[in-house]
């Protein structure tokens, strides 16, 4: 007797359920301490179901990061649709970091920090980090270039350098937040200062 065919929709639902469970485990236990057994128990699935989708913790982590990146891309697109200017988009995305950083110690941000710091000797992780770095300042590069095309920005430095400065500042604020906490890192003040500095670097013509 043939086993019933599982629909694609059901498979995708199971996959989301597994990734949601794995994300909770990573946040609770950290990357290094989390195990496939933890994911099985948290998702309340059989090991067979989990290994149908992923063969390792590394694959699950990569899938969660990919989902986060897709959500971030959607956030940028939504902000572009809602904003009347490119500067408004840039400022709003930076301002959103106040809320994101307030939750950083209990989000995947702390797990990703652990992943890259603990694996800094790994060539694979270094390559992944380089890719994420390029992606991070790539978003700002695109926004700045669009602002220049529209005549909204007259930057004082090269576009790639400004994008790297913004991305590096955000990474630094995240590191401070994870190290000493949101309040002591003065996240709101740092972000406000970064917004003001970014406006100066971009030479905003239409604020």
Contact indicator for 203, 156 with CB cutoff of 8 Å: yes
pLDDT in tens, 32-82: 999 999 999 999 988 888 888 999 999 999 999 999 988 988 988 998 888
Say if residue 142's pLDDT is above 50.
yes
**Domain limits, the chain:** 1-63, 83-207
Taking alpha carbons only, the member of 137, 149, 150, 151 closest to residue 198 is: 137
- 80-117 residue pLDDT tens: 888 889 999 999 999 999 999 988 888 898 999 999 88
Residue 204 phi, psi dihedral angles, 5° rounding:
-60, 125
Give domain 83-207's CATH number out of 3.40.50.970, 1.10.357.10, 3.40.50.300, 3.20.20.150.
Answer: 1.10.357.10
**What is the C-alpha to C-alpha distance for residues 205 and 180, in angstroms, rounded to an integer?**
37
Tell me, which fold does domain 1-63 have in CATH?
A: Arc Repressor Mutant, subunit A (1.10.10)
The pLDDT-based confidence of 5 (bands split at 50, 70, 90) is low
């Amino acid at each position: 007797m043939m086993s019933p065919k599982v629909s694609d929709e059901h498979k995708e639902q199971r996959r989301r359920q597994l990734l949601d469970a794995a994300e909770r485990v990573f946040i609770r236990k950290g990357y290094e301490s989390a195990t496939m057994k933890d994911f099985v128990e948290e998702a309340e699935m059989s090991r067979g179901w989990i290994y149908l989708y992923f063969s390792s913790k590394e694959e699950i982590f990569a899938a969660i990061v990919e989902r986060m990146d897709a959500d971030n891309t959607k956030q940028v697109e939504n902000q572009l649709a809602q904003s009347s200017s490119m500067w408004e988009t840039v400022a709003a995305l930076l301002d959103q970091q106040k809320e994101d950083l307030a939750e950083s110690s209990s989000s995947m941000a702390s797990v990703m920090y652990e992943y890259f710091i603990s694996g800094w000797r790994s060539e694979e992780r270094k390559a992944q980090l380089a890719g994420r770095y390029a992606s991070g300042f790539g978003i700002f590069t695109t926004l700045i270039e669009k602002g220049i095309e529209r005549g909204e920005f007259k930057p004082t430095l090269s576009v790639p350098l400004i994008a790297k400065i913004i991305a590096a500042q955000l990474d630094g604020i995240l590191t401070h937040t994870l190290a000493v906490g949101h309040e002591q890192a003065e996240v709101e003040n740092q972000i406000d200062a970064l917004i003001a500095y970014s406006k100066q670097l971009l030479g905003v013509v239409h604020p």
